[in-house]
Amino acid sequence: MLSRIGNSLFWTGRYIERAEHIARFTRVQYLSSLDAPLAQKKHYILESILDMVGYQFNKLIDENKLSEEEVLFFVCLDPNNPNSVIASINYARENVRGARDTVSSEFWEILNKYYHEINGYSHEEFLSEGPFDFSEMIYRNSSIVKGCIDNTHIHNDPWAILSMGLHLERAVQITRILIAKLNDIRKIEKGTKAQAIINYQIGALLKSTESFDMSRKYFKTIPSLINALDFLMLNVEFPKSLSFNLTHASIYLNKINLGNPLDRTTPEFRLEKIANKFKYLSVEEIEKNALGLLEETLNELYGIGAMIEKKYLSF
């Protein structure tokens, strides 16, 4: 496989996953805010959403004079915002367009339909209806696209690179969501309503990562914050947990590496190391400094992404 194509597929996986997470996070935060206990004003919700996509709320609002609805539009449908959902899908489609001879026609056609649907989404409808229908459309398309990736390709190099990009991005997004929600919880002032607000934030965290149902089944109770962190960071069987995604990203990267020896400077070594770290961490260890650990993990994931690009995808 050409390095250029590898690069396109790696980023395709990343953008498809990124779009889905941003859309889901935005919707969950927005819907939760509608019946949130007191103090969870829209202002905080929007701040949290912008934090998740890498913008500083005050700076953006001051510079662009955006209304609340416009902030949601900016995050979801503004093609000029490189971190928006629509921009991610446009990038994904552009990358696959440059690799059409490598991917299946089915995958291309499904992604192309996704691209046309999001680009045909009405600005007015979005502003009047909010992000609900929009994000439904994103999940539906994202699920079909990912099903198509798995079911219409040979599970060899191109598929492994796409899948690796997808899992690496999911690990990044889950980490970002965890950081954003831990920051939200940290801001909660002590008082009689504090526990209710914390519970609300835990619910929003789990819904933002599609973990609400499965975590309750797993713990057979409504999860506490530490349960939620345990589930989302350490569970080895749940596809949205950090541990699961790091392990899978590592498996796919090793598939590309063809069993060549790994020294400490390779991305394979670094990815396997962090995957194993999460495999063997205990919940007590993360409880002490979850935020610090997550921030460290995020930096490490960015570093590994850059190493993968340098080793395999530069051309």
Partner 1 sequence: MKKSNLTLDSNIFEGYHVLDKQFDEVYLQQNKSRPHYQSLIIDFARHSLEDFRELNEYARDSFYNQGITFNVYSDKSKGVERIFPFDLFPRVIPFQEWQMIEKGLLQRNQAINLFLYDLYHDQKILKDKIVPSELILSCAFFNKHMIGIDPPGGIYVHIAGTDLIRHSDGDYYILEDNVRCPSGVSYVLSNRETMKRTLPNLFLDHSVQSVQEYPEELLNIMHSVAPKQSGDNPTCVILTPGAYNSAYYEHSFLALWMGIQLVEGRDLFVDKNFVYMKTIYGPKKVDIIYRRIDDDFLDPQVFRPDSVLGIPGIMQAYREGNVSILNAPGTGAADDKAVYIYMPEIIKYYLNETPILKNVPTYRCELDADYKYVIENMDKLVIKPVDESGGYGVVIGPNSTKEELEKLKKVVASNRRKYIAQPVMNLSMHSTYIDEDGSFSPRHVDLRTFCLMGKNRHYVLKGGLTRVALKKGSLIVNSSQGGGSKDTWITSN
CB of 310 to partner 1, least distance (A): 12
Q: Which is nearer to partner 1, 109 or 129 (CB)?
A: 109
Contact (CB, 8 A) for 25 and 138:
no
Return d(Cα 233, Cα 311) in angstroms, integer: 28
Q: Which is nearer to partner 1, 144 or 225 (CB)?
A: 144
Per-position DSSP letters for 180-231, written without gaps between them: HHHHHHHTPPPSTTHHHHHHHHHHHHHHHTT-HHHHHHHHTS---HHHHHII
CB of 199 to partner 1, least distance (A): 45
CB of 101 to partner 1, least distance (A): 3
CB of 145 to partner 1, least distance (A): 13
Q: Which is nearer to partner 1, 37 or 98 (CB)?
A: 98
285 phi and psi, to 5 degrees? -70, -40
Q: Which residues bind partner 1 (CB under 8 A)?
A: 1-6, 94, 97-98, 100-102, 105, 108-109, 112-113, 116, 157, 161, 256, 258, 312-313, 315
The count of residues in the chain is: 315
120 phi and psi, to 5 degrees? -95, 0
Q: Which is nearer to partner 1, 112 or 276 (CB)?
A: 112
Q: Which residues contact 291 (CB under 8 A, 6 or more apart)?
A: 179, 182, 183, 186
Return d(Cα 268, Cα 182) in angstroms, integer: 30
How far CA 63 is from CA of 50, 52, 58, in Å, comes to 14, 19, 8
CB of 81 to partner 1, least distance (A): 15
Over its C-alpha atoms, the chain yields an Rg (Å, rounded) of: 19
Q: Which is nearer to partner 1, 254 or 276 (CB)?
A: 254
Q: Which is nearer to partner 1, 58 or 260 (CB)?
A: 260
CB of 119 to partner 1, least distance (A): 11
CB of 32 to partner 1, least distance (A): 35
Q: Which amino acid is at 175?
A: T
Q: Which is nearer to partner 1, 47 or 78 (CB)?
A: 78
Q: Which two tokens stand for residue 37?
A: 């206990």
Return d(Cα 30, Cα 78) in angstroms, integer: 18
CB of 306 to partner 1, least distance (A): 16
Q: Which residues contact 10 (CB under 8 A, 6 or more apart)?
A: 161, 162, 164, 165, 308, 309, 313
3-state SS, residue 298: helix
Return d(Cα 258, Cα 314) in angstroms, integer: 18
Q: Which is nearer to partner 1, 157 or 230 (CB)?
A: 157
Q: Which is nearer to partner 1, 48 or 163 (CB)?
A: 163
CB of 253 to partner 1, least distance (A): 11
Q: Which two tokens stand for residue 7?
A: 């690069």
Q: How many CB atoms lie within 10 A of CB 190?
A: 6
